[in-house]
Amino acid sequence: MEQLFKNALNDSDPSTQAVLVSVFSADEEESDREASLAELERLLETAGGSVFAKMVQSREHPENATYLGQGKLEELSRLCSNGGISLVICDSELSPVQIRNMEKALGDDVTVIDRTMLILDIFAQHAVTADGKLQVELAQLKYTSPRLIGKGREMSRLGGGIGTRGPGESKLERDRRRIKEREHILEKRLAELEKNREMQRKQRRRSGIFRFAIAGYTNAGKSTLLNALTGAGVKEKDELFATLDPTTRKFELPSGREILLTDTVGFIRNLPHHLVKAFRSTLEEVVDCDAVLLVVDISDSEADAQLRVTTDLLNELGAKEKPTLYLLNKCDAAPSVVIPFMTGEARTSILQISAKTGEGLDRLVNRLEELASDGKQTVSLFLPSADLGVLSSLYASSQVKSVDYRDGGALVTAEVDAMTLGRVKKYIC
Ligand SMILES: Nc1nc2c(ncn2[C@@H]2O[C@H](COP(=O)(O)OP(=O)(O)OP(=O)(O)O)[C@@H](O)[C@H]2O)c(=O)[nH]1
Ligand SMILES: [Mg+2]
């Protein structure tokens, strides 16, 4: 099926240079602003571009019509034309009107995009599964298309995507209709895929195997950790959002107990709400688990802020009550640190590790063992023929290890939690 979008940077020269622009209000912390802009730079590099210049304006609010004030906009225009720059990226969410007016002021050769459009570009480059690709395309249609339409841009392959100029109004009307149709198709397909995914999740739940989700800020080392433990071969790379699609792998603990580990999409500050909504089914993988392994990159000076963002998002997704093990990763690259945000956490829930060198992974495995076996024990039961129905509820709530049918009933070995144990006590043999 034809894709309506291409990426702003994909098709361009790999050395595409851009001006990064940010409007800060006076009540924002200076360190937050700088970190956000530095992150925008990393996002641009990940997307295949580089920074020509950064421009910052401090004012009460961004200008409604043009984001920047008049004087700064003129300065930006001069900067772009002198440097031959054709891409401007703003570190906030821009309205379609702001983009249109900025482009009008900057001239025909300059494309203006915002942080979210840039993130979606990266997502589009990194999505692998059908599910991931559809979610990205739908989010681009919903977010990016209103920001392009009316700008005299082609929306389709016909024009080659974000950077193309051209069509008249009748073309735009056709594009609007095509976009709506495409959105409809994508939504239907996604709903079907979501059904499958939910079935898979149900099966995993029913298997009774303890499930850990590996969550954390983008680039924290989640995929490296999954690979170090399971040899999963997931892409690990020093770039943002290397992973978009979740990967689940079985891991056998030294006791022989099996657990499931799921590597998930990373979090980032200022993730707009509608993006969270668009990627909800991917993000839900993060919370559909029995416990969370929250990976923090302690070699990053922003570790504390990143942990804050991650925790807020996890809470928003409904993971507040999940047992959480904080993994202070990249300890090989950082001195032992105290993260202010974590001072309230129990020491037993914090471990220093290095997914790269393997340091601390043996302790991690021990903790996984303790968490996975919490309150559970393996029991042998004899279910008389008349009570064989109990077996299906055992499958639902416990890990059934073996069933041996014999005269008069079945001999069952299962790992049960305390509640199930209460229900099946009378069958213990
Ligand atoms: N020094 C050091 N580098 C690490 C460690 N763990 C991961 N890295 C590096 O950090 C970078 C990011 O690692 P990934 O595993 O891709 O990070 P991620 O959390 O999966 O990132 P996204 O999928 O982009 O959200 C890679 O260059 C890794 O080699 C570690 O313990 N020490
Ligand atoms: Mg990853």
Look at residues 215, 310, 305, 231 and name the one whose alpha carbon lies nearest to residue 265.
215
Is 153's pLDDT higher than 60? no
Q: Is the CB of 140 inside a 6 Å radius of any atom of ligand 1?
A: no
> What region, left, alpha or beta, does residue 80 occupy, with left being phi > 0 and alpha being psi -120 to 50 degrees?
alpha
Q: How many CB atoms lie within 10 A of CB 137?
A: 22
Distance 143 CA to ligand 2 centre (A): 24
User: For position 4, what pLDDT does the model report?
Assistant: 41
Q: Is 202 in the pocket of ligand 1 (CB under 6 A)?
A: no
pLDDT score of 150: 55
Q: What is the pLDDT of residue 343?
A: 60
Nearest atom (ligand 1) to Cα of 357? 31
Indicate the DSSP class of residue 377.
Answer: E
Q: Does 352 contact ligand 1 (Cβ within 6 A)?
A: no
Which position has the token pair 């770039």? Answer: 239
- How far away, in angstroms, is 278 Cα from ligand 1 center? 25
Ligand 1: does its nearest atom lie under 6 Å from the Cβ of 219?
Answer: yes
Q: pLDDT per residue over 258-273, tens digit each?
A: 899 999 889 988 877 7
How would you classify residue 406: left for phi > 0, otherwise alpha for psi between -120 and 50, otherwise beta?
beta
Ligand 1 closest atom vs CA 219: 21
CB of 250 within 8 A of CB of 230? Answer: yes
Q: Which atom of ligand 1 is nearest to the CA of 216?
A: 19
Q: Residue range 116-139: average pLDDT?
A: 87
Ligand 1 site, residue 240, Cβ cutoff 6 A: yes
Query: Which residue's CA is minimally distant from atom 2 of ligand 1?
Result: 330
The fraction of the chain above a pLDDT of 70, given in percent, is 87
Helix (H, G, I), strand (E, B) or coil at 205: helix
**Ligand (nearest to CA of 267):** 1
382-397 average pLDDT score: 92
Residue nearest to atom 16 of ligand 1 (CA): 236
Q: What is the mean pLDDT of residues 137-154?
A: 73
Q: Which pLDDT value is given to residue 165? A: 32
Which residues have CB less than 5 Å away from ligand 2 (the ion)? Answer: 222-223, 242-243
Please give the structure tokens belonging to residue 38: 């530095």
- pLDDT at residue 222, as a whole number: 95
Summarize the confidence of residues 209-222 as an average pLDDT: 93
Mean pLDDT of the chain: 84
Residue 232 half-sphere exposure toward CB, CA atoms < 13 A = 22
Average pLDDT over residues 296-325: 89
Is residue 354 within 6 Å of ligand 1 at its C-beta?
Answer: yes
Q: What pLDDT does residue 348 have?
A: 64
CA 283 / ligand 2 centre spacing (Å) = 13
Query: 327 CA to middle of ligand 2, Å?
Result: 15
Q: 159 pLDDT exceeds 60?
A: no
Burial class (CB in 10 A: 0-12, 13-18, 19+), 106: buried
pLDDT of the residue at 232: 81
Return the pLDDT at 173.
Answer: 66
Which residues does 214 contact at the CB level (< 8 Å), separation at least 6? 222, 225, 226, 261, 262, 263, 264, 293, 295
What is the pTM (predicted TM-score) of this model? 0.79
